[in-house]
Amino acid sequence: MTGSAGTAAATSRLPDLTGWFRRPPPRTPLARLPTPVERAPFLDGPDHQVFVKRDDRTSELYGGGKVRKLEYVLAEVPEGPCTSVGAIGSHHLLALGIFLHEMERNLYSWTFLQEPTSHAVRNLAALVSLQPLVWYVPRRIMLPLAAIDYRFLRRPPEPGAWIPAGASSPAGAFGFFAAACELAAQIDAGVLPAPRTVYVTAGTAGTAAGLVFGLAACRIATHVRLVSAVERPLFNRWIFASVLRRFVRFLRTLDPDPRVRDLTGPGALRALARRGVTWSIDHGQVGRGYARSTEAGLRVVADSARHGLALETTYTGKCAAALAQDVRGRGRFRPPPGPILFWNTHASTDVRRFIVQDWQERLPPALGRWVRRVGGPDLVE
């Protein structure tokens, strides 16, 4: 990885969104922005120069793209507990838990199993160390049982405000609309050239929706390659179009300025292409399923670590694997020659500082038995 000398210059050029929206959404400042952009020559192809947007550095407390979303999501519910859902290694749940803990608020977590990597178990240990209330089911498909347990059998002492998976509400997506404007300021400042292609991981689609519309608003003509971390029935072009339309309705409530009114009207999705922003979805890296590692992902995670970039196997490793295959002509997509931006949404924070000694005793009994069976205590070290 090579640093970008122009990062500091962009600090004074953060977007003033009040100029575009007369009623911008409330924001709880959590992130330190702008995040830097760096060159990643080890990911280059013969005709492509790769840059990385380092959202792993959004916060010294806990980084990653989720912080951008939570700034707007938590501003909508400034008090009381929150309820959300994710796998045991979920960065969304951990980020939400950490920032709620800082605010002296509670997290109610609906949690299911994933592949027992050291990364996932370490995140679980950090999460339960924050003392959330946990409703556990063994498989993702059984989450309705967690909902029944939460609502009728083990009701929490105080209802929690619902935070969608991945913080991918329209307000959360707005965090990445603002992020695209931040990127535009960095392009204007000479930190990086305008990317011909942007690679970003996709699951609940909030990041992608905000980014696509933000790039269009800033008139950054590019193709956004969405590398799916979930199976096709859970994320596809119909689902994404629905998420985009929901985000358009949200933008409309902000009283948009005429400069972006075409992005909030009935033809908003067509306006994306007129402004030069297109997108496509890659399901080729899903492998055996969500949160199941792949050989290609493991290779690129290891290679990235040698170059100072921390990725993980569920989302960003698979996204980087797709990029690496595409620029070498071995993937499903041929990006046009020129600069590529890889948007790193992973939190590279060492979560071991959050882990308390008795974390296993805080697990639900069934989850505790699973952790011991897979050697969880050793994986955390």
pLDDT (tens digit, 9 = 90+) per residue, 267-290?
Answer: 999 999 999 999 999 999 999 999
Residues 219, 329 within the same domain? yes
Whether 331 and 216 share a structural domain: yes
Q: Are residues 196 and 259 in the same domain?
A: yes
Tell me the pLDDT band of 10, cut-offs 50, 70 and 90. Answer: very low
Residue 209 within a domain: yes
Provide the percentage of residues in the chain whose pLDDT is more than 90.
91
197 and 53 assigned to the same domain = yes
Among all chains, which residue has been given the structure tokens 């380092």?
54
Tokens 């977007």 label which residue? 15
Looking at the domain assignment, is residue 29 inside a domain? yes
The candidate with the shortest Cα–Cα distance to 286, out of 370, 202, 350, 213, is: 202
Give the side-chain half-sphere CA count within 13 A for 95: 31
Q: How far apart are CA 56 and CA 49, in angstroms?
A: 21
- Residue 370 within any structural domain of the chain: no
- Confidence bin at 2 (pLDDT 50/70/90): confident
Q: Is residue 360 part of a domain?
A: no
Average pLDDT for residues 248-261, to the nearest whole number?
95
Answer whether 198's CB lies under 8 Å from 211's CB: yes
> How many whole angstroms separate alpha carbon 28 and alpha carbon 68?
10
Q: What does the alpha-carbon distance between residue 39 and residue 213 come to, in Å, rounded to a whole number? A: 25
User: 227 and 332: one domain?
Assistant: yes
Residue 183 lies in a domain: yes
Residue 140 in this model has a pLDDT that exceeds 60 = yes
Shared domain for 128 and 181, answered yes or no, is no
Q: Among the three residues 130, 145, 162, which one is the final residue of a domain in this structure?
A: 162
- How many domains are there within the chain? 2
Q: pLDDT (tens digit, 9 = 90+) per residue, 162-206?
A: 999 999 999 999 999 999 999 999 999 999 999 999 999 999 999
Residue 11 has pLDDT above 80, yes or no: no
Instruction: Give start and end residues of each alpha helix (H) in 142-294.
Output: 143-148, 170-188, 206-217, 237-252, 268-274
Residues 218 and 146 in one domain: no
Q: The domain containing residue 16 runs over which residues?
A: 8-65+169-344
Q: Which long-range contacts (CB under 8 A, 24 or more apart) does 246-252 make?
A: 246/170, 246/209, 247/170, 247/173, 247/174, 247/209, 247/210, 247/213, 248/213, 249/170, 250/170, 250/171, 250/173, 250/174, 251/21, 251/177, 251/213
Does residue 53 sit in the same domain as residue 86? no
Look at residue 294 and tell me if it is in a domain: yes
Integer Cα distance of 64 and 31 in angstroms: 9
Domain-embedded: residue 157? yes
Specify if 70 maps to a domain. no
Answer yes or no: do 55 and 178 share one domain: yes
Segment 292-309 shows an average pLDDT of 97
pLDDT, average across residues 65-76: 98
Cis peptide preceding 34, ω within 30 of 0:
yes
Query: 228 - beta bridge partners?
Result: 202
CB neighbours of 295 closer than 8 A, spacing ≥ 6? none
pLDDT, residue 15, reads: 62
- Which domain CATH number covers 281? 3.40.50.1100
pLDDT band at residue 4, thresholds of 50, 70 and 90?
low
Say whether both 244 and 122 belong to one domain.
no
- What integer pLDDT is reported at residue 1 of this predicted model? 80
pLDDT score recorded for residue 97: 98
Question: Are 129 and 214 within one domain?
Answer: no
pLDDT band, very low/low/confident/very high, at 74 (cuts 50, 70, 90):
very high
Quote the percentage of the chain above a pLDDT of 70. Answer: 96
Q: Are residues 203 and 283 in the same domain?
A: yes
> Is residue 174 helix, strand or coil?
helix
Q: Which of 131, 162, 193 is the last residue in one of the domains? A: 162
Among the candidates 116, 137, 162, a domain finishes at 162
